[in-house]
């Protein structure tokens, strides 16, 4: 597995909402890109750490015909984690997920992290239920918080010349201010990260409810949902302005890929 992440410098929200508003003539309701809040029971990201058991996470989902991305914010006991899970949605087409950032660069995309100086430790690797994770400890110096960034990828396409994945998950965890966080503690937390439908079963009733739910296509509704994932401002203690990362890319055997949009 490569320790790389996507180029996330380009603005996404305006394009995503514009595609929703202007794309009515080009897309069916199923195909039209949507950004929406995720209701209880419909989320995919799992973080079963004891510190988060008392509070439900906030979730936002971006979906189009090629990909699905879920953002989740976990808070509890003064600790905080934000995770993004991305997957291709159409195995029929030759679509993979393209990303290039190293773990420390990925950490810098989150609002909480980017406003603080950091003291970094070295990168490490650990096996977990989702597969091998890269993780990198750091400390938010001004906030006196021990943290680590983490990432994993799986379902690599063997017919893709670059062997890129169909699923990726990445994010960070920060302990409450002043609390210690050992390497063993970090690895224990990584063991509790999963994806419903991968590390645990999705019940039939959940799947039926999700398939029958109406999609949010109103531009204002989508902008409100996107604001949850972006955070109220770049200086906020939550959010990531690069959501949705929009990682899907077509490929041809022996050729170079093209972005889906």
DSSP string, 182-209: -HHHHHHHHHTEEEBTTTBPPPHHHHHH
pTM: 0.82
3-state helix, strand and coil shares in percent for the chain, rounded to the nearest 5: 20, 35, 45
Tally the C-alpha atoms within 13 A of residue 135's C-alpha that lie toward its C-beta.
26
Distance between CA atoms of residues 1 and 150, nearest Å: 13
**Closest Cα partner for 169 from 182, 155, 153?**
153
Which of 134, 133, 149 lies closest to 181, judged by CA? 149
| Listed residue (115, 117, 123, 96) closest to 3, CA to CA | 123
Residue 125 CA to its chain's centroid (Å): 19
- Alpha carbons 234 and 110: distance in angstroms, whole number: 9
Gap between the Cα atoms of 32 and 26, Å rounded: 8
The H or E element that residue 225 is part of is: helix 219-230
- What residues does 45 pair with on adjacent strands? 195
- Amino acid 123: pLDDT: 97
pLDDT in the model for residue 166: 84
Query: How much is the pLDDT for 189?
Result: 98
Q: What is the pLDDT of residue 260?
A: 58
The two structure tokens encoding residue 2: 């490569």
Distance of CA 49 to the CA centre of its chain: 18
The Cα 232–Cα 125 span in angstroms is 33
d(CA 189, CA 181): 10
Output the CA angle 197-201-203, nearest 5 degrees.
105
Hey, what are 72's tokens? Answer: 């989740």
Can you give the C-alpha Rg of the chain in angstroms?
Answer: 18
Domain ranges of the chain: 13-230
Q: What is the pLDDT of residue 197?
A: 85
pLDDT tens per residue across all 261 residues of the chain: 434 433 333 333 444 434 333 333 344 444 678 999 998 788 999 999 999 999 899 999 999 988 999 999 999 999 999 999 999 887 667 888 887 789 999 999 999 999 999 999 999 999 999 999 999 999 999 999 999 999 999 977 777 777 787 899 999 999 999 999 999 999 999 999 999 988 877 664 444 444 344 444 466 788 899 899 999 998 999 999 999 998 988 887 665 555 555
């Amino acid at each position: 597995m490569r320790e790389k992440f996507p180029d996330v410098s380009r603005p996404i929200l305006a394009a995503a909402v514009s595609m929703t508003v202007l794309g009515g003539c080009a897309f069916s309701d199923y195909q039209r890109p949507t950004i929406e809040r995720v209701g209880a029971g419909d989320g995919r990201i799992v973080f079963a750490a004891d510190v988060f058991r008392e509070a439900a996470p906030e979730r936002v989902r971006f979906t189009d015909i090629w990909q699905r991305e879920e953002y989740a914010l976990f808070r509890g006991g003064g600790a905080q984690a934000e995770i993004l899970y991305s997957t291709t949605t159409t195995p029929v087409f030759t679509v993979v997920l393209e990303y290039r950032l190293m773990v420390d660069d990925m950490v810098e995309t989150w609002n909480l992290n980017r406003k603080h100086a950091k003291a970094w430790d070295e990168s490490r690797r650990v096996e977990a239920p989702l597969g091998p994770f890269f993780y990198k400890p750091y400390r938010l110096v001004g906030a006196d918080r021990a943290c680590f960034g983490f990432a994993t990828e799986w379902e690599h396409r063997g017919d893709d010349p670059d062997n890129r994945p169909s699923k990726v998950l990445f994010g960070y965890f920060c302990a409450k201010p002043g609390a210690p966080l050992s390497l063993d503690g970090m690895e224990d937390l990584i063991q509790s990260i999963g994806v419903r439908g991968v590390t645990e079963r999705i019940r039939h009733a959940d799947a039926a409810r999700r398939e029958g739910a109406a999609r949010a296509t109103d531009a204002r509704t989508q902008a409100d949902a996107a604001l949850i994932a972006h955070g109220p401002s770049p200086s906020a203690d939550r959010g990531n302005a690069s959501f949705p990362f929009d990682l899907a890319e077509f490929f041809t055997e022996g050729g170079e890929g093209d972005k889906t949009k």
